[in-house]
Amino acid sequence: MANEVVLLDTWVSMFGMRVRIALAEKGVQYEYKEENLRDKSPILLQMNPIHKKIPVLIHNGKPVCESAIIVQYIDEVWNDKAPFMPSDPYERAQARFWVDYIDKKVYDTWRKMWLSKGEEHEEGKKELISIFKTLEETLGDKPFYGGATFGFLDIGLIPFYSWFYAYETYGNFKMEVECPKLMAWAKRCLEKESVSKTLPDQMKVYDFVVSMKKSLGLD
């Protein structure tokens, strides 16, 4: 079977980065198509008519949507190397639980902090720090969430690292102070080429976030 792989994505998306890291881990060649989310391409609307969101992985013409689902798909199709999922069903359920937790919590809480002032801002900041502390606790003393190896939950979380400077600057806190073990984990992840070559510079993300807020008239 031919393996024609196309990724519809946006450079700054942590959800897109998950897919790029997963493809790099598996050594899959693909065509990257940068989407402009203010003027979505006909192919994005056709391939993800339900959510109209990136990332979309198009494998031999057929779309797979939602980053956590795409990463599992990649793991199941290119199953000859670097398995992402733990072999134990209980560990698999836990990895899925925490990726789902990230999806339900991080982005919305960050937006709450980012787009509000006063009490709501402070509440969002506290919640965001508490989410990362919970995730740090879940890591425990393991080098990676996948144990000795980089796995599904590592892939699910590490892209957010590229947003940390934005979180810290808008929230006026330091991840290094709040979550030193999580930062040590992030640095271990960054030793992997699949991660270091995928994650954009934190300052570039921050500049994007600043310009986004300006464009929302919320400077």
Residue 22: C-alpha distances to residues 77, 119, 127, 217 (Å): 12, 39, 29, 36
Q: Does 45 bind a second copy (CB under 8 A)?
A: no
Question: Among the residues of the chain, which ranges form H helices?
Answer: 14-26, 42-47, 67-77, 89-115, 118-139, 152-157, 164-171, 175-178, 180-190, 193-196, 202-215
Q: Of 37, 97, 169, 180, which one interacts with a second copy (CB under 8 A)?
A: 97
Q: Of 18, 26, 59, 125, which one interacts with a second copy (CB under 8 A)?
A: 59
Question: Is there a contact between 71 and 155 (Cβ–Cβ < 8 Å)?
Answer: yes
Rounded to a whole number of angstroms, the minimum distance from the CB of residue 104 to a second copy is 9
Rounded to a whole number of angstroms, the minimum distance from the CB of residue 82 to a second copy is 16
Q: Which of 74, 195 has the CB closer to a second copy?
A: 74
Q: Does 58 bind a second copy (CB under 8 A)?
A: no
Quick one: which of 76, 56, 58 has its CA closest to 66?
56
Q: Of 45, 69, 177, 216, which one interacts with a second copy (CB under 8 A)?
A: 69
Size of the site for a second copy (CB under 8 A): 21
Q: Does 107 bind a second copy (CB under 8 A)?
A: no
Rounded to a whole number of angstroms, the minimum distance from the CB of residue 119 to a second copy is 24
DSSP 8-state class, residue 60: T
Question: Is there a contact between 26 and 71 (Cβ–Cβ < 8 Å)?
Answer: no
**For the window 121-160, what string marks contact with a second copy as x by the rule CB under 8 A?**
-------------x--------------------------
Q: Does 117 bind a second copy (CB under 8 A)?
A: no
Q: Which of 34, 100 has the CB closer to a second copy?
A: 100
Say whether 6 sits in a helix, a strand or coil: strand
Q: Does 96 bind a second copy (CB under 8 A)?
A: yes
Extract the tokens encoding 194: 């699949």
List, in order, residues 6 or more apart from 99 with CB less than 8 Å away.
Answer: 68, 152, 153, 156, 157
Residues lying near a second copy in the complex (CB under 8 A): 50, 59, 62, 64-66, 69-70, 72-73, 76-77, 89-90, 92-93, 96-97, 100-101, 134
